[in-house]
Amino acid sequence: MFVTFNYICKISTHPPYLEINLSSIAGLAAAKQTENDNFISFLKTLDGKAVDGIVHPLTESISAQIDCSNCGNCCKTLMINITNEEADKLSGHLQLTRNNFDEQYVEKGSNGMMIMNKMPCHFLNNNKCTVYENRFSGCREFPAMHLPDFKERLFTTFMHYDRCPIIFNVVEQLKSKLNFSNNT
Ligand code: SF4
Ligand code: SF4
């Protein structure tokens, strides 16, 4: 996952063409709400391993064509969960006490949950993650399309479909690969 504000509207020159303009993706996502609800219902009828067998190569191919450093929308718009171990590691890297780190960067819920207290992320600077080697596991995993059991993450995938060009394009190409039609 990653960073930048200088988002350049770029369309891949290799078919199938990729949509990476964030405004266009947001607009298309709104227009496709019903279609996507139907697609989710359709996906639930399919074998999970077979779906993974399509999603993973699509993810590999599309991720290779999208430059996250020209997007960074996840670092600007996502609520980042933090574990104690991650906070310990990053506070050490920043040479801060845990108390100082928590005061500056962390919001704590009554249930012990910790999140970064600012969006865009504090550590996004000049379109780069300044703590890249020590970034959180959620940052490393996002958009999680490479992980097993895609079908078990439909809710979160479609929650981020309107903000992440990788998710958007994988889902759109998955519809084609599965011959999904919104009219059937
Ligand atoms: S939102 Fe998606 S495409 Fe954009 S930087 Fe994050 S992972 Fe990459
Ligand atoms: S820690 Fe780095 S990768 Fe994670 S949200 Fe912040 S800037 Fe992005």
Asked if 68 and 2 sit in the same domain, the reply is yes
Asked if 38 and 69 sit in the same domain, the reply is yes
Check pLDDT > 80 for residue 59: yes
Asked if 149 and 182 sit in the same domain, the reply is yes
The number of distinct structural domains making up the chain is 2
Contact 97, 30 (CB under 8 A): no
What does the mean pLDDT of the chain come to?
A: 91
> Does 68 contact ligand 2 (Cβ within 6 A)?
no
Angle 154-155-160 from CA coordinates, rounded to 5°: 95
Q: Is 144 helix (H, G, I), strand (E, B) or coil?
A: coil
Asked if 168 and 154 sit in the same domain, the reply is yes
Amino acid at the residue 45: T
User: What is the distance between the alpha carbons of residues 104 and 182, in angstroms, rounded to a whole number?
Assistant: 48
Asked if 88 and 46 sit in the same domain, the reply is no
User: What is the distance between the alpha carbons of residues 96 and 92, in angstroms, rounded to a whole number?
Assistant: 6
Asked if 59 and 103 sit in the same domain, the reply is no
Give Cβ neighbours of residue 13 (< 8 Å, ≥ 6 apart). none
Which of the ligands is closest to the CA of residue 141? 1
Which of the ligands is closest to the CA of residue 76? 2
Asked which of 5-14, 26-35, 158-167 is least confident by mean pLDDT, the reply is: 5-14
Q: What is the pLDDT of residue 122?
A: 95
Q: What is the pLDDT of residue 2?
A: 44
Asked if 43 and 64 sit in the same domain, the reply is yes
Classify residue 59 as exposed, middle or buried by CB count within 10 Å of its CB (0-12, 13-18, 19+). Answer: buried
Check pLDDT > 90 for residue 129: yes
Using a pLDDT cut of 70, give the percent of the chain over it: 91
Asked if 160 and 102 sit in the same domain, the reply is no
Asked if 181 and 143 sit in the same domain, the reply is yes
Using a pLDDT cut of 90, give the percent of the chain over it: 82
Asked if 67 and 156 sit in the same domain, the reply is yes
Name residue 116's beta-bridge partners: 106
Asked if 131 and 178 sit in the same domain, the reply is yes
Residues in the ligand 1 pocket, defined by CB under 6 Å: 1-2, 66, 68, 71-74, 142-143, 163-166
Contact 19, 173 (CB under 8 A): no
Check pLDDT > 60 for residue 128: yes
pLDDT tens digits, 160-177:
999 999 999 999 999 999
Q: What is the pLDDT of residue 14?
A: 53
Range of the domain at 159: 1-74+127-184
Asked if 84 and 68 sit in the same domain, the reply is no
Check pLDDT > 50 for residue 4: no
DSSP state of 150: G
Check pLDDT > 90 for residue 149: yes
Q: What is the pLDDT of residue 8?
A: 34
Going by C-alpha positions, the residue among 123, 122, 128 that lies closest to residue 5 is 128
Burial 99-129 (b: 16+ CB within 10 A, else e): eebbeebeeeeeeeebbbeeebbebbeebeb
Residue 142 Cα: closest atom of ligand 1: 7
**C-alpha of residue 118 to centroid of ligand 2, in Å:** 11
Cα dihedral angle (111, 2, 136, 138), rounded to 10 degrees?
50
Boundary residue ending a domain (118, 142, 176): 118
